[in-house]
Amino acid sequence: MDNMLVSSWFHLHSSVPLSYVQPPESRPGTASVISGKTIPVVDIEEHDHAEILMQILRASEEYGFFQVINHGVSKELMDDTMNIFKEFHALPEVEKISESSRDPNGSCRLYTSREINNKDCVQYWRDTLRHFCPPSGEFMEFWPQKPARYREVVGRYTQELRLLGLKILELLCEGLGLDPKYCHGELSESPLLLSHHYPPCPEPNLTLGTPKHRDPNLVTILFQEKDVNALQVFKDGEWIVVEPIPYAFVVNIGLLLQIISNGRLIGAEHRVVTNSDTARTTIAYFIRPTTENIIEPAKSLTCSDSPSIYKSITFEEFLRIFMSKGPDIEPFLIL
């Protein structure tokens, strides 16, 4: 695994290796980037509950993305968690691999470019640490022990993100007319944490940190570093930059919630561009179901005038299709 991680060799190159060069149609700049337009910002401590519901539902229907402020997670915990992940990604490669390889079943792992790496495919300019973080505490024994306090800090962070995630799901479900607790239980019992690290890139116009895609989950809650504009949302044929707001979380709707809402909410396409000056670290909390859970449109949202658009499918089967089809998955989900 020597020199496999981008963070181990990026500084040795003055140009992007050929395997990381995107085809012309996928490179940054092939579609216009809107300046001055932003995704909605929702204050979820707004006193008017009906106003919060309206804002969060409209953002999820029109953009599939919004930022939340006054969310209840302390700035101190957010800073501690970001610093822990920055320290992890700064460890020597051998240590990072060792710290993320305790479970032979791969519940915690470190990889570069993409989770399933195919050398025949174009690579992406990032390293990723991922591990499960269910509320039961299962799998924590396989989490990294370095840096010191990793398990303590990340454990507290994932507990707080679970509470925030359930609150956001309750608001979305209520806005759709469902039981606010519709997504509690097995639909949200298998969360996943991913920390992406994007080193500086010598030719950011040729490569991507993350390709255009939609997330294979219910909802993603992302903590991104301030001062680095890299995340972009695709809307109406153009890219909107998701400018970081200090101590806000970016929330995006995943494909599973698009299915549950019978297409009312948007699992929006998004990507990450690179830059030549600054490394960027992000922390993404994926709210996901257990593998055997059935994903289908909520029955109360379908009728003879509004029939189901999507098939019923287990999450395990959904993931299998997603990993093989990627951005082209939707035709395989539609009835």
* Domains of the chain by start residue, with CATH: 6-12+32-332 (2.60.120.330)
| Statement: residue 29 has pLDDT above 80 | no
pLDDT for position 269: 95
pLDDT average, residue stretch 133-158: 96
Q: Which band of pLDDT confidence, cut at 50, 70 and 90, is reported for residue 191? A: very high
Distance, in Å, from the CA atom of 202 to the CA atom of 223, rounded to the nearest integer, reads 25
In the structure, how many helices (H) and strands (E) does the chain have? Answer: 7, 15
For the entire predicted model, the pTM comes to 0.96
pLDDT for position 1: 36
Q: Read off the DSSP letter of residue 143.
A: S
Per 3-state DSSP, the chain is made up of helix, strand and coil in percentages (nearest 5) of 35, 20, 45
Q: Is 164 helix (H, G, I), strand (E, B) or coil?
A: helix
The token duo for 112 is: 């570069």
The token duo for 127 is: 């390293």
| Statement: residue 181 has pLDDT above 80 | yes
Per residue in 68-79, pLDDT (tens digit) is 999 999 999 999
| Residue linked to tokens 């204050």 | 43
Contact 212, 252 (CB under 8 A): no
Alpha helices (runs of H) in 25-149, residue ranges in sequence order? 49-62, 75-90, 93-99
Virtual torsion, Cα 152, 154, 157, 163, nearest 10 deg: -100
pLDDT for position 304: 82
Residue 202's closest CA among 270, 272, 125, 128?
A: 125
Distance, in Å, from the CA atom of 152 to the CA atom of 162, rounded to the nearest integer, reads 16
| Statement: residue 34 has pLDDT above 80 | no
N-to-C CA span, the chain: 43
